[in-house]
Amino acid sequence: MRAIIPASVAGVIFGAGLAMSDMVNPARVLGFLDIAGAWDPTLAFVMGAAVVASAIGYAFSRRLRAPVFGKSFFIPENRRLDSQIIGGAALFGIGWGLVGFCPGPAITGLIYGMWQPWLFVAAMVAGMALQRVISTQRTSDRAAKADA
């Protein structure tokens, strides 16, 4: 797997960016989300710069026939909006707003020797597993109905 080293380099840079920009600090994130309080614009600068850089990378990737260390690009082609993506995003947003952690900063924050990111990440794994159990069950229910 030649892609492992580039993937870890990308992870290191990504984590460095989250730390440098304070996105690992939930108080900073909540300050952005609190538009009725003492609003903190930091997240807007971070997100804006990140989107511009990723858009440039995406534009470049369109000119490549294949990634440098891989056979093909895996880019989601689904453009349909459905209740799952909106419902899922809403649930995620509520959780994000409750404490100010989203997945990247919470995992990155495991390094700082505090218990809170560990507890959050453990609960996040449980939430992910629960979603998988429910979706697998619904798929098999549907298959059972189709068989009947």
Partner 1 sequence: MLEPLSPVFAIGGGLLIGGAAALLLMLTGRIAGVSGMFATVMRIADAGPPWKLATAFILGLPIGAAITSLLVRRPDIEVKSSMPLLIAAGLLVGFGTRLGNGCTSGHGVCGIGRLSPRSIAATLTFMAAAIATVFITRHVLGA
Please give the residues from 40 up to 69 whose contact with partner 1 meets the rule CB under 8 A. 40, 42, 45-58, 60-61, 64, 66-69
Distance CA 130, CA 133 (A): 5
User: Least CB distance from residue 143 to partner 1, whole Å?
Assistant: 15
Do residues 29 and 43 make contact, with C-beta atoms less than 8 angstroms apart?
yes
| 103/142 with CB nearer partner 1 | 103
| 103/141 with CB nearer partner 1 | 103
| 45/142 with CB nearer partner 1 | 45
131 touches partner 1 (CB under 8 A): yes
Do residues 109 and 26 make contact, with C-beta atoms less than 8 angstroms apart?
no
Give exposure, 87-102, as e/b (b: 16+ Cβ within 10 Å).
eeeeeeeeebeeebbb
140 touches partner 1 (CB under 8 A): no
114 touches partner 1 (CB under 8 A): yes
Per CB under 8 A, which of residues 24..43 are in contact with partner 1? 24-28, 30-31, 33-38, 40, 42
| 9/148 with CB nearer partner 1 | 9
Q: Find all residues with CB under 8 Å of 101, minimum gap 6, and list them.
A: 26, 29, 109, 117, 120
Six token digits for residue 65: 């026939």
